[in-house]
Amino acid sequence: MDDQAVRMALERHWNASDASDFEAEHKIYGEDAVLDYPQSGERIRGRKNIQESRWVQPNRKRFAVRRIVGGGDLWVTELVLTYDGVPSYVVSIMEFREGLVARETQYFGEEFAPGASRAHLVERMGGAAGS
């Protein structure tokens, strides 16, 4: 699968995620894919288990992709994942094998207030705490 095809598959995946289209969302994963959440210490094995873990998640989710970068078998998506109106900043690292995701690792970060000590050095981006 060439880079353009992978990028298109990722765009379909994140659009389906935002639409809560659980069938389309999980077409990107291989049958034996592994999903890691390092911050909670969880590992989910298999596309069906990954899909079910998202199906049973009770919160209303929205996905806003900020950027997708990568090439070959390694791709990174930076996004804002909003659960019931509360945003989390997420980095998803996907490793592909034979055109499907073999491993994904997701890192979550919450908003935090800007540091007063560096206020003179920064410009406000919007969409984060204190903006």
Give the dihedral sign, CA 41/107/59/57.
negative
pLDDT in tens, 96-131: 999 999 999 999 998 778 888 988 888 877 655 544
Q: Is 113 exposed, middle or buried (0-12, 13-18, 19+ CB in 10 A)?
A: exposed
- pLDDT reported for residue 104: 98
Mean pLDDT of 39-46: 96
If one compares 114 and 67, the residue with the highest pLDDT of the two is: 67
CA separation for the pair 14, 19 (Å, rounded) = 9
If one compares 46 and 83, the residue with the highest pLDDT of the two is: 46
Which amino acid makes up residue 68? I
Domains defined along the chain, listed by start = 3-111 (3.10.450.50)
CB 77 within 8 A of CB 8: no
Longest dimension (CA), the chain: 50
- pLDDT reported for residue 131: 45
Nearest Cα to Cα of residue 18 among 90, 111, 91, 80 = 80
- Which token pair is 97? 């094998």
- pLDDT reported for residue 128: 54
DSSP state of 84: T
What's the predicted TM-score (pTM) here?
0.88
